[in-house]
Amino acid sequence: MRAMIAIAVVLLILGLIGWIQFSSPGGDPTIRVDSQKVKQDTSVLVEKSKQAVESAAEKVESATEKVDASIARRPIDETNE
């Protein structure tokens, strides 16, 4: 039952974003997949993902430049504590 609901939700979402269309010309029910729209939407998503990753990498790099990376070379003397 959960699987049927999940499939129905996925089909509804895909229909709302325009990737699939339901019709019944002449009483024959059909489902049409708009592959051109899927390609366009996924290519836009890939480009935005690349930009987000590059932006995050730049922020990480600028943050690491601000960090003082000096390390104390002397061992800690535990007997004096």
pLDDT tens-digit series, residues 66-79 = 766 566 566 666 66
Between 72 and 62, where is the model more confident? 62
Q: Which domain holds residue 9?
A: 1-33
Asked whether residue 29 is assigned to any structural domain, the reply reads yes
Which is nearest to 29 in space by CA: 38, 40, 20?
A: 20
Domain check: are 21 and 42 in the same one?
Answer: no
The answer to whether residues 28 and 50 belong to one domain is: no
Q: CA 34, CA 24: separation in Å to the nearest integer? A: 16
- Judge if 21 and 45 occupy the same domain: no
Residue 28 backbone zone (phi > 0: left; psi -120 to 50: alpha; other: beta): beta
Same domain? For 11 and 22 the reply is: yes
Question: Strands 30-33 and 20-23, how do they pair?
Answer: antiparallel
Residue 81 has pLDDT above 60, yes or no: no
Residue 10 has phi, psi (to 5 degrees) of: -60, -45
Helix (H, G, I), strand (E, B) or coil at 34: coil
Q: Tell me: the pLDDT tens digits for 16-57?
A: 998 999 888 888 888 899 999 999 999 999 999 999 999 999
My answer on whether 27 and 1 are in the same domain is: yes
In this predicted structure, what is the pLDDT of residue 26?
82
User: Domain for residue 74, yes or no?
Assistant: no
Q: How many domains does the chain have?
A: 2
Q: How confident is the model at residue 65 (pLDDT cuts 50, 70, 90)?
A: confident
